[in-house]
Structures are given as structure tokens and as C-alpha cells.
Amino acid sequence: MSDSGDSSDSEVYIPRDPVVPLPVTGPRERKKVERFAVPVVEKAEKKLVIPEGKGAKLGSIATVNANLDKLKSSDETVKGLHRLLFGRVAPSKSPKNDLKAFNGFEHLSEKEEEALEEKLGKWTVGGLRELIDVFNLEAGGDKDALLERLMVFLKSPEDSGLVPRAQKAAQDAKEKKAQALAVKKAKAAAKAKKNAELKAKKTEQKKAQAAKKKAALAKAKAAAKASKASKTSTSTSTRAPKVRSAFDMYVKDHQKAIKDATPDASRADIYKRAPQGCCRCRRQEAQEGEGCKD
């Protein structure tokens, strides 16, 4: 026990330092990353130099100016033509103004002319024809003919004097429409004339048929009338003669004398006064068909 008591007495307690709280200064700040930036040197834009040629400015040629106005600044034909004439893409917002100010090349060496023709030769036939339309040039021929025509124009632009293709197409369409209308009117007139002739012919045929029918009817009536008259005459001629009495025969033969003698006598009185023998004679003669002998 003495050992344990000695050990307990020999231990020494050493107190610790008090805990000091850390200062709170807010949210943690992130360290900014410094990035390496390459300095950009802005190049000064070169001013576009339009060559001074001896031809007319494209903007002064009415047809070319109108054709350029129809195109948009973003059109590939405008961009390609600007690159061809000035050697670069149009930096301005209105490249058509640069094109309108172009009046040809002042001096072209043989090498420069070959280079220009080579650039132009890379265009398709469709693109060359679009340029031909813009410059209002003759559109016929193959690619070589189009190239030659464009080179001559670009050296010294001038008005071709041709009617614009769009205007010519409109005129052709108008003329074609007028011709079609004239043909239509002619056909309508011919048809109307034919119909009128047919109508007149039908009218004449109807009149002829009516006249023929009328004549046939009149002929039939005449034939019927003639037949009736013939039948009547035949029946009359074949009819037996009427047997007259002796008194009628006597009166007929002596009508005037009897009337003068006895104007107021009646038929019966005359018959009574007539001689009987004569009456018998006349009756017999009438039956035999002979006349009186007295």
C-alpha cells in the first residue's frame, strides 16, 4: 500500500490552455484563376479602291442599274461579281453601290487579263448567264462565247441597247396572248357564220318542205275535186232519163200558148182541157223516146 500511495503522491496534474474560438469572417473566398489571353491586334480595314476605267459606270446604264436593284446584297451573284472586280468580298453593307460605281479597268496587262479570265472561267454556265442577264448582253452561244462577251464588257462597260430579256419575254407573252385571242375570235366568228348558214339552210329547207307539202295538199284537193266531179258526171251520164208524163211534155212544148190562152188556169185545169188523144200519144212517145208528130 505504501507503494501505491507513493505513486499517487508523485503524479503532478498539469492544466491545459483554454480553447480559444477561431474568428468567423464570412463565406470562403475562392481563389480567382488568372487565364492567359492572347492579345488581338485589330487590323485596319483597307479602303476599297475602285479602278478608274474608260467605260460607263454600271449605275449609269439604266438596264444594268435596274437589274442590280432587283438583286439582294446577300445574293451569290452580287458577292461573286464583287470578288471578281475588286479582288475581295464586299466589306460594306451595300456592295451594290460599289458595283454601280465600277466603270471598267484602266489598264490591264496581259497577265492580269489572263488572271481575270481564269477567275471568270471558274464560273458555271448558269452563273455566266446570270451575269449576262445583269449586264443585258446577248445570251446566245456556248461558254467560251459568254466569257469573251463578258470580258469585252468588263474592260469598258457600255449600254448594249438590247431590249431586256424580262421585258422581251413580257412583250412576247403579250403578243402571243394577242395572237391567241385573235385566233379565238376568228374561230368564234367562223363558228357563228357556220351556225348562221346552217340556220338559214334549215329555214330554207323548212320553207321548201312547207311549200312542197302545201303543193301536195293542193294537188290532192284538186285530184279529189276532179275525182268527185268525174264521179258526178259519170253518175249523171249513166242515169236513166226521167220519164215525164204526157201532161208535162205537152205543157213544156205548149207552155207559152197555154199561158197566153188561159193565164189564170191552174195545172189541173190545163190537164183537163188538154186533148186526151194527144196526152196518150205523148205518153206513148215519151215511153218510146220519140217526139210528137202533131
Rounded Cα gap, residues 286 and 90, in angstroms: 149
**Chain segment 99-120, per-residue pLDDT in tens:** 999 998 878 888 988 998 999 9
Rounded Cα gap, residues 173 and 166, in angstroms: 10
The alpha carbon torsion through 209, 213, 219, 225 (nearest 10 deg) reads -170
Nearest to 249 by CA among 197, 284, 273: 284
Asked whether residue 91 carries a pLDDT value surpassing 70, the answer given is no
pLDDT, mean of residues 134-159: 91
Output the average pLDDT for the chain. 78
Grid coordinates representing 158 are 457600255
Rounded Cα gap, residues 144 and 58, in angstroms: 23
**Chain segment 2-59, per-residue pLDDT in tens:** 454 544 455 655 556 555 565 556 666 677 776 766 666 566 556 777 878 888 999 9
Burial of 290 (0-12, 13-18, 19+ CB in 10 A): exposed
1 — pLDDT class (breaks 50, 70, 90): very low
Residue with cell 459606270: 57
Q: Are 126 and 105 in contact (CB under 8 A)?
A: no
What residue spans define the domains of the chain? 58-162, 246-288
**Chain segment 216-256, per-residue pLDDT in tens:** 999 888 888 888 887 776 665 555 566 666 667 766 777 67
Please indicate whether residue 163 or residue 265 has the higher confidence score (pLDDT).
163
In this prediction, residue 261 carries a pLDDT of 75
Grid coordinates representing 194 are 357556220
Percent of the chain whose predicted confidence (pLDDT) is above 90: 23
Nearest to 101 by CA among 150, 138, 123, 68: 68
pLDDT, mean of residues 152-159: 91
Q: 258: which residues sit within 8 A by CB, 6+ positions away?
A: 251, 265, 270
Name the residue type at position 169. Answer: A
131 — pLDDT class (breaks 50, 70, 90): very high
In this prediction, residue 294 carries a pLDDT of 46
Rounded Cα gap, residues 119 and 175, in angstroms: 40
145 — pLDDT class (breaks 50, 70, 90): very high
In this prediction, residue 197 carries a pLDDT of 92
61 — pLDDT class (breaks 50, 70, 90): very high
In this prediction, residue 74 carries a pLDDT of 86
